[in-house]
Amino acid sequence: MSALLTKALRTRLLANGRRSASEPGFDTFPVVKLFMPDGQATWLLSELDDDDIAFGLCDLGLGFPELGAVSLGELANLRGRLGLPVERDRYFEATAPLSVYAQQAQQLGMIDVPDDHYIISYDTFISGYLPVNNHLDENAAFDGFMFETYGKELQHVCAQNRSSVWTLMDGDCGLWIGSGFHHVNRLGYFITKQPVNDRISYEVPVDDDNQEGEQS
């Protein structure tokens, strides 16, 4: 099994591969994005077979991206000009079928995936950005992580580096946590140990399970 994939991603890719074999013209969303951190090569993969041969959009950085097959084993052993291995974009979420990415890439001569806005899971937010506990309220919502929008808690939030502040907001599609300090539709704030790049925005959809720590 390739170290480039999680078990969940591998399962999705294999399922797409089986469906593609039985449905001519099957056009699904890419599941994973791989890239060379010290080069220009990028792969958007949508399917996988039992021999770890993946299918997707392949861009070697030569100006001629194309749909094709690639061995995950070979990718795992590939090294760039600085000796760095291929990596997986942990925040990649496809927004269109593979054919749309392919058409755009062939027009541009490269794979172009917007990288200034990411949608990440709540679990990724917790494990990757490490929100700190609200030391001012032992009964704070979201398992003790959320700060209120008033009083001493707001003052504490405002005293933090803005790159470590996130805002809980109420939108048309429900609750979500966005990176940065926001006023509109705000319901609370989070402070994380891991700061974010201020040129990139993050969105964390929130469901009822994420709020189990909330106490009234």
Alpha-carbon separation of residue 10 from 114, 134, 149, 169, 216 (angstroms)? 24, 38, 42, 33, 41
Residue 214: pLDDT band by 50, 70, 90 thresholds? very low
Q: What is the pLDDT of residue 208?
A: 67
Q: Using an 8 Å Cβ cutoff, are 43 and 5 in contact?
A: no
Both tokens of 134, joined, read 């609200």
pTM: 0.53
β-bridge partners, 67 = 57
- Over residues 55-72, mean pLDDT: 95
pLDDT at 2: 62
pLDDT of residue 196: 81
**Can you give the pLDDT at residue 116?**
62
Q: How confident is the model at residue 168 (pLDDT cuts 50, 70, 90)?
A: very high
Share of the chain above pLDDT 70, in %: 90
pLDDT-based confidence at 199, cuts 50/70/90? Answer: low
Is 113 exposed, middle or buried, given 0-12, 13-18 or 19+ CB atoms closer than 10 A? Answer: middle
**Chain centre to alpha carbon of residue 166:** 16
User: Quick one: residue 63, left, alpha or beta (phi over 0 = left, psi -120 to 50 = alpha)?
Assistant: left
What is residue 39's predicted lDDT score, i.e. its pLDDT? 84
Cα 11 to Cα 8: distance, rounded to the nearest angstrom: 5
